[in-house]
Structure 1
């Protein structure tokens, strides 16, 4: 949220670009954009729900641990913390417990919203790429007498997609870096807890707390890697669509415009981890392997 606040102007440019794309689209474009919006909505619902339900399972594990210990002098909280007052009495304990649950649920939902926002923006960019590919295929294969003005309009639209993707990269690059570092550590620690909880007395309670939390953290890392891979793959398809069209039937002036689009598409669009590495499925595999290595070391030391 701090990064969003510091980049409020950039965030505003991104939102304005999305709004203008919806205002300027025609009937054929609206179908593609509506399909992407529907996919974004489905993904957003799943992500926000999974983040919120992970808090529910974590809280359930904490309550089950308290019932399993059969202790009356201490109360198990969702988040371990020191308070300036006693929580032995039932009303105070319930108040603290509900407050912690609401806080954790809202924080988890907010993280899910930010992840959903990234997916929505990337899918919107991919939808614009599909529109450019579709229009270029139509005007070269159906309307052979395509004018130079239409070609330049597609070039301008392609440039807007590039600028939009660069704005997403500038906004989420540092966020991705923070998420990758934290997710690697969290996945490592949760994996260690899961490993040492298998086959031990009371381990099922820890599994209830940790397994779904582990899945959500892995899902969060996968989301960032997937959207980066998807955007990169989609951006390369523009050059392929242009090359596979009937460019040889155009005049030399129009062919220069075609060559310009192919050259611009060769440098595929990417999202990076703090300007260090590209977000890709390979990076997700590296996170899983690194976390597994850390778990093995911790388990050996334990």
Structure 2
């Protein structure tokens, strides 16, 4: 049976131990705890050791990559601790598909929603993979273009790390680079899998809102002979409550993830902007731009995805009240018309995703992230 979750996202959820109550979940979680913890130690060791280094752009590059890995770590821990919420959401999604398979309109809406979610997931994950390839290629190009990096221990690594051993031979350098590329690849996959999951959940609930709107218009229409018996007020209110519960579950699952994402992405965008701005006058500007530009775009895209998802959910929730108000509820008995007023009143409290239950995610919030990053960037450029 078709589902809103694509196979790619489902596979990623299993790999990163997010899929609840799977037999392999504990093993995958232990693996990622060890891998990310080890990498983070070496990355932040580099940040601490090189805090006063002459090449400040290299330092900022190391900070940005370390914070990106930390963000994945935080996301995974939050999703692991909220696996019960995610399990309940999966149950609700499965029930939605089973309930609407007999309705032609509902089936068409959910199939269209699933196709959009699958395409969006492929684009989000695919673009991040391209960014990883370009980031790694930029590091290799910088090593080739710089004659001072002939010796292995002088060459730049894909991820800035202070390792407990010296890179004295080419074989050790190749081994370290291969492991780092593998690690960066899966870190990027993890980040985009979690982002794709959010988009999928938002699209699913938006599809349910469209189904509820169609039912409202159908139940209160002049030519709905017999339809009111099939679509009762109780079923409409129950459907509305299910949408609210599902939206609140998305909020509980992603609110603190969104909070950490906005904080870290603001700093990462600032760091990468500094690297790009200061590299324009350097001899190896092309290699640095190849490495950093797509990374910069993906970080902005991540913040944009979260803020757009919140904006989209809020806009969709308003449509429920509009559909109820635009229906011919006033032509029906007072008992039924009074019930629809409760739907209209409840819809006035729009559904939203918040950042740490402090502020709503919206396109205005994304604008504030970009402005804050630009302010920090201008301060860094003035100081250094």
TM value normalised by structure 1: 0.97
Q: Which residue of 1 aligns with 2:383?
A: 301
Q: State how 1:53-202 maps to structure 2 within 5 Å.
A: 53-70=130-147, 71-73=149-151, 74-141=154-221, 142-143=223-224, 146-147=228-229, 150-202=232-284
In the alignment, the residues of structure 2 paired with residue 295 and residue 246 of structure 1 have an alpha-carbon distance, to the nearest angstrom, of 55
In the alignment, the residues of structure 2 paired with residue 18 and residue 106 of structure 1 have an alpha-carbon distance, to the nearest angstrom, of 27
Contact 1:226 1:280 in 2 (8 A): yes
**1:265 has 2:347 as partner:** yes
Contact 1:144 1:249 in 2 (8 A): no
1:201 Cα deviation from its structure 2 partner = 2.1
Q: CA RMSD in A?
A: 1.4
In the alignment, the residues of structure 2 paired with residue 160 and residue 201 of structure 1 have an alpha-carbon distance, to the nearest angstrom, of 59
1:83 Cα deviation from its structure 2 partner = 2.7
Count of residue correspondences: 302
Contact 1:273 1:279 in 2 (8 A): yes
Q: Which residue of 1 aligns with 2:68?
A: none
1:147 Cα deviation from its structure 2 partner = 4.3
Contact 2:219 2:231 in 1 (8 A): no
Q: Which residue of 1 aligns with 2:103?
A: 27
In the alignment, the residues of structure 1 paired with residue 164 and residue 87 of structure 2 have an alpha-carbon distance, to the nearest angstrom, of 43
In the alignment, the residues of structure 2 paired with residue 226 and residue 137 of structure 1 have an alpha-carbon distance, to the nearest angstrom, of 28
TM value normalised by structure 2: 0.76
In the alignment, the residues of structure 2 paired with residue 149 and residue 280 of structure 1 have an alpha-carbon distance, to the nearest angstrom, of 34
* Gap change, CA 1:149 and 1:237, over 3 Å in 2: closer
1:282 Cα deviation from its structure 2 partner = 0.3
Contact 1:140 1:245 in 2 (8 A): yes
Unaligned runs of 5+ in 2: 1-75
Moved more, 136-145 or 106-115: 136-145
1:300 Cα deviation from its structure 2 partner = 1.2
1:193 Cα deviation from its structure 2 partner = 1.2
Q: Deviations over 1:26-58 (max 9, x none)?
A: 332111011111111111011111112211111
- Aligned residue for 1:34, secondary structure, equals helix
In the alignment, the residues of structure 2 paired with residue 83 and residue 181 of structure 1 have an alpha-carbon distance, to the nearest angstrom, of 28
Contact 2:139 2:158 in 1 (8 A): yes
Moved more, 154-163 or 199-208: 199-208
Unaligned runs of 5+ in 1: none
In the alignment, the residues of structure 1 paired with residue 137 and residue 185 of structure 2 have an alpha-carbon distance, to the nearest angstrom, of 13
Moved more, 7-16 or 142-151: 142-151
Contact 2:143 2:155 in 1 (8 A): yes
1:207 Cα deviation from its structure 2 partner = 1.0
**Aligned partner of 1:214 among 296, 301, 320:** 296
